[in-house]
Amino acid sequence: MTGTTLTLAADATGVGDALRWALTIAYIALLLTICIYGLHRYWLVYLYRKHQRHIPRPKRWFADLPRVTIQLPIFNEGAVAQRIIDAACAVDYPRDRLQVQVLDDSTDDSADIARRCAEEWKKQGIDIQYRHRTDRTGFKAGALADAMPDATGDFIAIFDADFIPNPAFLKRTIHYFTDDQVGMVQTRWTHLNREDSWLTRGQAIFLDGHFLIEHTARSRSGAFMNFSGTAGIWRRAAIEQAGGWQHDTLTEDLDLSYRAQLRGWNFVFLPWVRCPAELPPEINAFKSQQHRWTKGSVQTALKLLPRVLTSRLPLSVKVEAFFHLTCTMVYLYMTLMTLLFYPAIYVNIRFAGSESWVGVFLALTFFAMGTVSATVYYVASQKIQHRSVWKTIAQTPLLMAIGIGVALSNAVACLEALFRHESPFIRTPKYGDRPAARKPRIIPIPSMRLSITFLEIAMGFYMLECARLSLTITDTIVGLPFLLLFASGYFYVGFSSLYVHIRGYLDNRRPVEPQAA
């Protein structure tokens, strides 16, 4: 009997050791992967600083301004349709060389608003074309492709409905195309409602990093950058030679950007040319936008990364393209790592010796390295704008909490892309200049499943349980701050999302007051 007991104990120890090592390897592998992507942010900051003085300038100036078409893709944008059409028609450019195309796929009364506005500008001498599709094939990409045969410009400027281009936009960008190799010029997004809430402030910092650090670093170092879908201008020949707008991904802008650059076209980013726009004011709109961008990026990576890696491009361009196209996969890695927290803590303690704290400490060190890189990245983007460094550092936990909170929704987006699950293009709702700007009526988003919200809240409670377990075991208490940060991130996004679901449900039960024409 004693021998049998010893054998069972030895077997249990062997199984426990194997499980402990399997979990440890998986946990550390995920952390290392996340850390590598975090360290890549240092590289982007380095590239920015190395090339910050390499300011792009036009090769020369056009003696005669070329013909330009401004395209305005619109879908149910009643709150902002007139504003963007007015702004596009007011651009300071010779009227005999400017065309405006309103590409309206609307299925509600906003189509009447856009049509009337276009007719008014047509009476004032603007060459404006109102196009309404009843078949939304291809969504935004389909609307852009459908309009190209009737576009008269050699250059195509594109603005989403919530943007307000400055009257000088074209004259500040068009002359960069005197270089025959320039295929696209991108300008910087700024934010109309940056200070409305903690959520909009966080989004503004995220986008500042993307534009001021990433776009500048990539465009000036010779790496591939992307058209951001709006507030940019294309050479028509670059669009056509790259194969035109395609809608087999949810990020048609990223897809076309890479195809054009693979054909040898150069892109220019002008951070001093600003185009203000609206940030999603509520969490479900933000999550929907992030889900689309994440899924589309993975789809584009699956579609084009093999072509990039097997091309004759320089190794540095290939490496940067790999990180660029796959960076959203970090959300999936982060979610998997989160799910491993509890078993990793539990199994390491139950079956490891007294030195088990070493593995936990090293893992947390790797993770901290990644978080510090994010802090450096976002601080650099705010310092460029002469914003407070200390205030940005103080906001870093909020940025991390938002990033952690949306990780589950974005991980689902990654899996949908990897398993080729098709889904429609869901536009980000626009609220516009409404009287109750801080508490607008909630615009429902069909793609925002309530089940994901409940899972986010459940993840918050799961992280609290992990924190409780770490308190009971001395060797793992070092991870308590990170566990609480994860819990707060999931709770913030989950409960905010639930509140929006409830409020949207109640709002949409109330009758809508008719708006004045």
Catalytic machinery residues: 105, 253
Residue 290 structure tokens: 């992030």
Phi/psi of residue 464, nearest 5 degrees: -65, -40
* Look-up of token digits 């601080």: 379
Three-state DSSP class for residue 185: strand
Q: Which H or E run contains 363?
A: helix 356-384
Q: In what order do the strands lie in the sheet with 266-277?
A: 127-132, 98-104, 68-74, 155-158, 232-235, 182-191, 266-277
Q: Which residue type occupies 13?
A: T
Q: Give dist(CA 401, CA 496) in Å, integer.
A: 13
Q: What are phi and psi for residue 98, nearest 5 degrees?
A: -125, 130
Task: Return d(Cα 142, Cα 245) in angstroms, integer.
Answer: 7
DSSP string over 56-119: ---SS--SSPPPEEEEEEESS-TTTHHHHHHHHHT-SS-GGGEEEEEEE---STHHHHHHHHHH
Closest among 208, 202, 290, 279 to 492, alpha carbons compared: 202
- Classify burial at 510, counting beta carbons within 10 Å of its beta carbon; exposed 0-12, middle 13-18, buried 19 or more: exposed
Distance from C-alpha of 30 to C-alpha of 52, rounded to nearest angstrom: 33
Question: Which of 48, 425, 33 shows the shortest CA–CA distance to 255?
Answer: 425
N-to-C CA span, the chain: 90
